[in-house]
Structure 1
Amino acid sequence: MLSETLKNKYQLCEEIGRGRFGVISRVFCPSTQSSFACKSIDKRLLSDPTDRECLENEPKIMTLLSPHSNIVQIYDMFESDDTLQLIIDLCQPFTLYDKILEPDMSEPKAAAYMQQLMLGLAHCHRFGIVHRDIKPDNIFFDFRGNLKIGDFGSSTWLGEVGTADGLVGTPYYVAPEVVMGRAYNEKADVWSAGVVLYVMLAGVPPFYGETAEEIFEAVLRGNLRFPSRIFRSVSAEVKDLLRKMICRDVSRRWSAEQVLRHPWILNGGETISMD
């Protein structure tokens, strides 16, 4: 339900998504003849202080990062005692997760997606922001086909010390230093993006288990493998990039900017060499 103030500018259309704390609907702005998404959050469902902090941070972070072609943009915000409503980019009704399920995921296609993802992450990191929940479900596409990083509810500023803490993220994609409870920096996002790339090429994550605890144990072991039955036709170049992104030693793990300069990215995934 739209607030009265919001109704003066936008017309409510159909519901297009639903989450833990509210719904996402399409809205239409008559003055600009444009459609947007309205993320409506029910503040009464936020009993956890951490959730409340994320609620307060998300619009601030999105405003700081907007506009960027590879980040979901925020245009407006309306708040009442019970609800927070964000007017953001309207994206297509699928995510990168849906793209991964398609049978025609090639290295050039994966490289194109990864380049856009890393451009968005490099932009975040220049502002001292770590996303903390990079995964295919949080990577969207606008109606021009641009990849867009979304869902900044888990994001945080690194601050003057340049680090964050707290176990935040999704088990398959979370970096080992996060699992260990250490202070971490923006390179935790690079690990997660590396796992996304691995999943794009393999269809399965590099570290897995039946429970979150088992997955965390596999992440901590960090034994990055390329099973021949899955990676038989995958190039040596992309395996090299994966080793640089999914690297347990944070000091040796590449930054988003370095990933963007890797030959596999620069060549658009076009390669003929093999292991």
Structure 2
Amino acid sequence: MSEELNRDYRVCEEIGRGRFGVVYRCYSLETGDSLAVKSVDKSLIADDSVDRQCIYNEAKVMQFISPNPNVVQIYDVYEDDSHLHIVIELCNDSDLFHRIANRVLSEPEAAGVMVPLMAAIAHCHRRGVAHRDVKPENILFDEWGRLKLADFGSAEYFREGEMMTGVVGTPYYVAPEVLSGREYSEKVDVWSAGVILYIMLAGIPPFYGDSAADIFEAVLRANLRFPPRIFHSVSPAAKDLLRRMLCKDVSRRFSAEQVLRHKWMTTT
């Protein structure tokens, strides 16, 4: 571990592991606060790789958009010859993927997720940052159950009216304009959040297939359906919001701010 890191924090047990590093529980020697430190092994990443750009980009973006109550906060970054250490807020109460696996949420339960999620996305967009990989695995909860948007490795800066390029994201959640190779806006995050809302209410994704290629084809068609067998008890307001978030025509798709003002979000 870095000498500077050990000067400021006591690193404790491992609580997670990824492709390039390990996440440990730690606490601040100054305040005693429990936090987490993501330690990335630089030897596992090629100097000119996209992965290296993502890892360094994540720390910069998180510093730029912090603090926000619904975004994982970053506290410190340390680097030595072998590792990059990123000290972040501790979110050890599962993620949304595990919370919604094999269960359908009621509309009030889904709204309890969507309101803070869209608040986090709207905050990022106001700061000129598109997350570009909004999915349940990147939506965490702290020990008090507060939602925190995480993992900004694929995030991109943008100026108002400026478009982005590059195929990033995850099957099921990626927007059709990303897959088509066209330029796209920050509204790709609204699409991804719309997919999450659909899954929470239906228990299945809106666009699916047996392989990644089949999923991408379904996303590109963007034929949004509400099977009566599944959606018979879902309110018209929820379906209206889904249509506005999962709208293939980007000019008609809601912005994050518009989603927050929608009737379903404010009254459910």
TM-score of Structure 1 vs Structure 2, range by shorter chain: over 0.9
The 3-state SS of whatever aligns with 2:26 is strand
Aligned partners of 1:32, 1:143: CA distance in 2, in Å? 18
Alignment-derived partner of residue 6 in structure 1: 5
Asked if 1:41 is matched to 2:46, the reply is no
Deviations 1:33-60 (A, max 9, x none): 1110101111222225211211221111
Aligned partners of 2:44, 2:234: CA distance in 1, in Å? 45
* TM-fit CA distance, 1:30: 2.7
Asked if 1:184 is matched to 2:193, the reply is no
For structure 1, the 5+ residue unaligned runs are 270-275
- Identical pairs, percent: 58
Asked if 1:100 is matched to 2:100, the reply is yes
Aligned residues: 267
In the alignment, residue 34 of structure 1 is paired with which amino acid? Answer: D
Rate the CA distance shift 1:3–1:109 in 2: closer, same or farther, 3 A.
Answer: same
Alignment-derived partner of residue 165 in structure 1: 165
In 2, are the aligned partners of 1:128 and 1:162 still within 8 Å (CA)? no
Alignment-derived partner of residue 220 in structure 1: 220
Rate the CA distance shift 1:29–1:102 in 2: closer, same or farther, 3 A.
Answer: farther
Aligned partners of 2:193, 2:102: CA distance in 1, in Å? 19
Rate the CA distance shift 1:197–1:104 in 2: closer, same or farther, 3 A.
Answer: closer
In 2, are the aligned partners of 1:3 and 1:78 still within 8 Å (CA)? yes
In 1, are the aligned partners of 2:67 and 2:73 still within 8 Å (CA)? yes
Correspondence 1:13-24 to 2 at 5 A: 13-24=12-23
Aligned partners of 2:13, 2:186: CA distance in 1, in Å? 36
Aligned partners of 1:13, 1:104: CA distance in 2, in Å? 36
Alignment-derived partner of residue 65 in structure 1: 65
In the alignment, residue 119 of structure 2 is paired with which amino acid? Answer: L
> TM-score scaled by structure 1?
0.94
Compare 6-15 and 183-192 and name the one that shifted more: 6-15
Alignment-derived partner of residue 125 in structure 2: 125
Alignment-derived partner of residue 237 in structure 1: 237
The 3-state SS of whatever aligns with 1:85 is strand
